[in-house]
Amino acid sequence: MPTTMTDYIRIVLYALLIMLCVIAFQTWDKEHAKQPIPQTETTETAATTAYIPKLTTENTATISHPVSTTIAKSLPSHPIHIVTDVMDLQIDPLGGNITQVKLLQYPEQLHSANPVVLLNSQPETKYIAQSGLLSSVGPDTPAGQALYLSEKSEYTLLPGQDSLQIKLFWQNKQGLKVTKIFTLHRNNYAIEISYLIQNLSHDVWEGSPYEQLMRKNTPASSQGVINLATFYGAAISSPSKPFEKISFKKMQAENLNQTITGGWAAMIQHYFISAWIPNKNITSQYFSKVTEDGLYTIGMLGSKITVSPGSESLSQTQFYAGPAIPGQLEKVAPGLQLTIDYGWFWIISTAIFWMMQKIYNVIGNWGWSIVLVTLIIKLMFYHLSAKSYRSMTLLKKLQPRIESLKERFGNDKQKLTQATLELYRKEKVNPMSGCLPILIQIPVFIGLYWVLIESVELRQAPFIFWIQDLTTYDPYYVLPVLMGLSMFLQQRLNPPMPDPVQAKVMMLMPIVFTVLFIKFPAGLMLYWFVNNTLSFLQQWYIMRSINGSKKPKTHSSQ
What pLDDT was estimated at residue 17?
Answer: 52
The contacts of residue 358 (CB under 8 Å, 6+ apart) are none
> Pick from 80, 75, 83, 84: which is nearest to 97 by CA?
80
Tell me if 339 sits within 8 A of 267, measured CB to CB.
no
Tell me if 200 sits within 8 A of 176, measured CB to CB.
yes
The phi, psi pair for 5, rounded to 5°, reads -65, -30
What pLDDT was estimated at residue 71?
Answer: 37
Q: How far apart, in whole angstroms, are the C-alpha atoms of residue 423 and residue 433?
A: 16
Exposure of 67 by Cβ count < 10 A (0-12 exposed, 13-18 middle, 19+ buried)? exposed
What pLDDT was estimated at residue 367?
Answer: 95
Looking at residue 394, its amino acid is L
Taking residues 292-310, report their average pLDDT: 94
pLDDT: which is higher, 453 or 269: 269
Tell me if 337 sits within 8 A of 243, measured CB to CB.
no
Instruction: Calculate what percentage of the chain has a pLDDT beyond 70.
Output: 78
What pLDDT was estimated at residue 390?
Answer: 72
Task: Mean pLDDT check: name the lowest of 67-81, 412-426, 483-497.
Answer: 67-81
Query: Taking 70 as the threshold, does the pLDDT of residue 164 lie above it?
Result: yes
Looking at residue 112, its amino acid is S
pTM as predicted:
0.79
What pLDDT was estimated at residue 299?
Answer: 96
Confidence of residue 418 (pLDDT cuts 50, 70, 90): confident
Q: How far apart, in whole angstroms, are the C-alpha atoms of residue 394 and residue 386?
A: 12
Q: What is the mean pLDDT of the chain?
A: 81
What pLDDT was estimated at residue 58?
Answer: 38
Query: Taking 50 as the threshold, does the pLDDT of residue 6 lie above it?
Result: no
Q: How far apart, in whole angstroms, are the C-alpha atoms of residue 380 and residue 374?
A: 10
Tell me if 226 sits within 8 A of 173, measured CB to CB.
no
Beta strands in 35-171 (DSSP E): 80-83, 87-92, 97-107, 115-119, 127-134, 149-150, 154-156, 163-171
Q: Look at strands 149-150 and 190-199 and give their pairing.
A: unpaired
Most confident of the following: 136-140, 264-268, 290-294, 488-492: 264-268
What pLDDT was estimated at residue 420?
Answer: 79
Q: How far apart, in whole angstroms, are the C-alpha atoms of residue 197 and residue 179?
A: 7
Query: Taking 60 as the threshold, does the pLDDT of residue 529 lie above it?
Result: yes
Omega before residue 209 within 30° of 0, cis: no
Query: Taking 50 as the threshold, does the pLDDT of residue 225 lie above it?
Result: no
Instruction: Note the helical H segments in 33-156.
Output: 46-49, 69-73
Query: Taking 70 as the threshold, does the pLDDT of residue 26 lie above it?
Result: no
**Domains present along the chain, CATH in parentheses:** 55-341 (2.70.98.90), 348-397+431-547 (no CATH)
